[in-house]
A = this chain, B = another copy of it.
Amino acid sequence: MTPTEVSQPIAPPDRRQQILDAAMTCFGRRGFHPTTMQDVADEAKVSVGLIYRYFPSKDAVIAEIAREHKADLAELLEQARQAPSLFEAIEIFFTCHHDDEHAQVIAPFVLDLFAESARNAHVRALVRDVHHCFVDGIAELIAASGDAERLPRGFSPRQAAELIVDATHGLMIRDVTELSDLSPASACERQLAGLRSLWTLLFPAAHDLCVPTGEQP
């Protein structure tokens, strides 16, 4: 009667993750506040009561998802650090939300996080933290890369990083409000276009704008 203890043929369903995933889906779909625990339970194919075996409250679920989101971004930063070039590293941020099917879920969720951070100190702290990690990470990336000196005069890596992050957020908003009907692929294209614009500005090819300058006797 006991299952064969050998090959773990059926992975034990990770209820916790199952619930978190369902919650993420729901939150992305309807937002924190309008999502009911019943919604989450239904999405997770689970009873409401069970959610409370794993999380003490709805807020705790939100908090956990936010934490997960933070971890995802940290990993993203790590990936970026491995990228061969600065451009590619930053490309990762600009396109990250479009790699998978969660595309239309994560952005709305993040926007909700931002909105929530205006009144919930806990969420605010987390968002702020994520933001700092990002800016710092990108600033380091720029500083470490040879491209730093290509920045316009008086432009620090940090300033550049902040601009990049801000633009990313702005683009995310565009994604949500303008492109929600478009395919993830198109959205991704849009992001890349945004990146290239910014890139051109931040790191003007020497030959393109200024190289001639220095070369002149």
A200 within 8 A of B: yes
Q: Is the CB of A128 within 8 A of B173?
A: no
The count of identical subunits is: 4
Which residues in B have their C-beta under 8 angstroms from that of A212? Answer: 153, 210, 213-215
Q: Is the CB of B111 within 8 A of A111?
A: yes
Q: Which bucket holds chain A's interface residue count?
A: 35 or more
The chain B residue with its CB closest to the CB of A201 is B201
A184 within 8 A of B: no
Question: Which of A26-34, A95-103, A137-145 participates in binding chain B?
Answer: A26-34
Digit string of A81-104 for contact with B (CB within 8 Å is 1, else 0)? 000000000000000000000000
- Bound Cα distance from A215 to B118, whole angstroms: 49
Which residues in B have their C-beta under 8 angstroms from that of A210? Answer: 209-210, 212-213
